[in-house]
Amino acid sequence: MNPSLQTAAGHRGSTVVAQERNRVLRNTYWLLALSMIPTVLGAWVGISTGIARAMTPGISLMVFLGGAFGFMFAIEKTKNSAAGVPMLLAFTFFMGLMLSRLLGAVLGLSNGTNLIMVAFAGTGAVFFGMASLSSIIKRDLSTMGKWLFIGAIMVFVAMIANFFIQSSALMLTLMVLAIGIFSAFILYDLKRVRDGEETNYITATLGVYLSLYNVFQSLLALLGIFGGDRD
């Protein structure tokens, strides 16, 4: 083949690859924004009905774990079909419902609304910061995923253990660790999309959503503990 034709074909191939990566990234951002609607709706339903607050902490934990892992399994199975997006949105509604217990407790504080807004703004700042870094950093971050996964599992196990131990110091430590680990996960997941390692926008959205959820939840809990006004 003529060298000039080979070069032209290479450029076209690179352009197609870049366009596909941008499409996945764009769809991830759009779906992530859309997922906030059922999350807010689920939280509103939970606060209005008191369904999450009515459950004992033990029942709430079991419902959360069973529902979350069940939905994530279903999303993984349907990510390449028309049911993938509705399944993800149903999951975010469920997560909003489960979040209503914490939101209700914070809203019981005299400055609860302000704390929620601060937590939301802080989570947004983390997201935009990590998204910007994902477009600037050129090095491969694939090895980072293994350590983040190990860290997340350790925090998850420790949180379940602390459900029985009820240590305030451990809880605070885990919240801070969760903010750090899941902030890094946002960077890692978005970088994978930019590098073409993740080609399914539903899977990408699920990963980033879970990280944002954990950052927001941990940040709000910390604000409620240290910044809450109890009149």
Residue with tokens 């997201």: 127
d(C-alpha 126, C-alpha 118), whole Å? 12
Domain ranges of the chain: 3-227
Average pLDDT for residues 63-71, to the nearest whole number?
A: 94
Residue 231 has pLDDT above 50, yes or no: yes
Burial of 229 (0-12, 13-18, 19+ CB in 10 A): exposed
pLDDT tens, position by position, 170-218: 999 999 999 999 999 999 999 999 998 999 999 999 999 999 999 999 9
d(C-alpha 207, C-alpha 201), whole Å? 10
Is the pTM above the cut of 0.85?
A: yes
Nearest to 190 by CA among 11, 56, 32: 32
- Write down the pLDDT at residue 53: 81
Residue with tokens 């997560």: 95
